[in-house]
């Protein structure tokens, strides 16, 4: 069932000294030890409306690629197969539109944080 929602989205405030908040330390936010900016926002359920969104108008587009069975725990398979598919999709979408493209896909955060 398609349904829009209202939600509070929390953003980390700029520390003001040029440093960046530590994205690995979520405890700072959960424990209230980090300044945050909470904004009530409308979240649009865009199911069945994907064609209404474009890179030029919204800054993103929705595309699908066929789902393939693969070993998601094998970093080499993900890097060679999945990254290749994503890279090809991005090139198909962006290059014909004249967008300069320098592509580097990273999943470092994924492998560092898996149990």
pLDDT in tens, 90-112: 888 877 766 666 656 555 545 45
pTM for the structure as a whole: 0.52
Task: Report yes or no: 68 and 81 within 8 Å, Cβ to Cβ.
Answer: yes
pLDDT at position 112, please?
Answer: 52
Locate the DSSP E strands across the chain: 5-12, 36-43
Burial grade of 83 (CB within 10 A; 0-12, 13-18, 19 or more): middle
Q: What is the mean predicted confidence (pLDDT) over 59-87?
A: 84
């Amino acid at each position: 069932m398609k349904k829009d929602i209202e939600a509070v989205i929390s953003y980390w405030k700029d520390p003001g000294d040029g440093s960046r908040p530590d994205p690995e330390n979520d405890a700072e936010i959960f424990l209230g030890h980090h300044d945050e900016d909470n904004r009530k926002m409308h979240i649009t359920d865009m199911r069945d409306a994907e064609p209404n969104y474009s890179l030029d108008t919204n800054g993103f587009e929705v595309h699908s690629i066929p789902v393939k069975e693969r070993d998601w725990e094998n970093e080499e398979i993900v890097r060679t197969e999945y990254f290749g598919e994503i890279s090809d999709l991005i090139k198909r979408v962006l290059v014909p539109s004249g967008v300069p493209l320098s592509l580097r896909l990273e999943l470092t955060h994924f492998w560092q944080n898996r149990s």
